[in-house]
């Protein structure tokens, strides 16, 4: 019995099977092959070890930021299931699913956030704000709120 692998159009190894002879669409691979460790270079037909994905994306971006989805050679970026290259801009808050396939493998969810969401997370709780008003006065409270507004300005 020999091992054979099946690959998708991006070179990702989908699964490995054992068979007595080469099945249709299969590619012979070594007996110790682990599907997640290899990829098939679609240009050369060569089976290569998959490499660690370099850090490509932050965890979050602001609405309106340019995000460059260019990936190294041998890899393909799928954003929300669509193959993309180059820069994209998202104009609404949302979660974006990024899947890098081929030579590298990465699955990541990127948050696109607005200044409203950033401010809401940065403001102290209402209880803390009231406590600051009581103990330090209105000017101290205004300064704290102004610092958050300056950090996350309206866009």
Task: Clarify whether residues 19 and 6 are in a common domain.
Answer: yes
Task: Clarify whether residues 69 and 106 are in a common domain.
Answer: yes
Provide the token pair at 69.
């989805």
Task: Clarify whether residues 8 and 35 are in a common domain.
Answer: yes
pLDDT in tens, 106-137: 999 999 998 888 888 889 999 999 999 999 99
Task: Clarify whether residues 45 and 71 are in a common domain.
Answer: no
Task: Clarify whether residues 90 and 107 are in a common domain.
Answer: yes
Task: Clarify whether residues 101 and 127 are in a common domain.
Answer: no
100: exposed, middle or buried (C-beta count within 10 Å: 0-12, 13-18, 19+)? buried
User: Does residue 146 have a pLDDT over 90?
Assistant: yes
| Residue of 38, 108, 110, 98 lying closest to 74 (CA atoms) | 38
**Res. 89 pLDDT band, cuts 50 70 90:** very high
| Residue of 148, 154, 93 lying closest to 119 (CA atoms) | 148
- Which residue range is the domain that position 38 belongs to? 2-49
Task: Clarify whether residues 14 and 29 are in a common domain.
Answer: yes
pLDDT in tens, 37-83: 899 998 888 999 998 888 889 999 989 999 999 998 889 999 999 99
Task: Clarify whether residues 44 and 84 are in a common domain.
Answer: no
Task: Clarify whether residues 136 and 95 are in a common domain.
Answer: no
- How does 113-144 read in b/e, with b if 16+ C-beta sit within 10 Å? bbbebbbeeeeeeeeeeeebeeeeeeeebeee
The answer to whether residue 45 sits within a structural domain is yes
pTM: 0.70
The answer to whether residue 55 sits within a structural domain is no
Task: Clarify whether residues 144 and 124 are in a common domain.
Answer: yes
Structural domains of the chain, count: 3
Q: How far apart are CA 99 and CA 78, in angstroms?
A: 5
- For every residue of 121-138, DSSP letters joined together read HHSPPHHHHHHHHHHH-H
The answer to whether residue 54 sits within a structural domain is no
Cβ pair 77, 85 in contact under 8 A: yes
The answer to whether residue 105 sits within a structural domain is yes
DSSP secondary-structure letter at 129? Answer: H
Q: How far apart are CA 125 and CA 109, in angstroms?
A: 27
Q: How far apart are CA 100 and CA 114, in angstroms?
A: 25
Q: Is 146 helix (H, G, I), strand (E, B) or coil?
A: helix
Task: Clarify whether residues 32 and 69 are in a common domain.
Answer: no
Task: Clarify whether residues 74 and 100 are in a common domain.
Answer: yes
User: Does residue 149 have a pLDDT over 80?
Assistant: yes
């Amino acid at each position: 019995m020999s091992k054979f692998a099946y690959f998708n159009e991006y070179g990702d190894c989908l699964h490995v099977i054992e068979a007595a002879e080469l099945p249709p669409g299969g590619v012979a691979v070594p007996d110790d092959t682990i599907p997640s460790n290899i990829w098939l270079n679609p240009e050369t037909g060569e089976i290569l070890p998959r490499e660690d994905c370099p850090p490509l994306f932050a965890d979050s971006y602001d609405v309106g930021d340019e995000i460059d989805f260019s990936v190294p050679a041998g890899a393909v970026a799928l954003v929300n299931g669509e193959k993309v290259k180059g820069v994209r801009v998202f104009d609404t808050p949302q979660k974006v699913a990024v899947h890098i396939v081929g030579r590298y493998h990465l699955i990541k969810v990127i948050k696109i956030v607005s200044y409203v969401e950033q401010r809401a997370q940065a403001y102290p709780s209402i209880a803390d704000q009231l406590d600051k008003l009581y103990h330090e006065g209105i000017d101290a409270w205004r300064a704290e709120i102004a610092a958050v507004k300056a950090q996350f300005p309206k866009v």
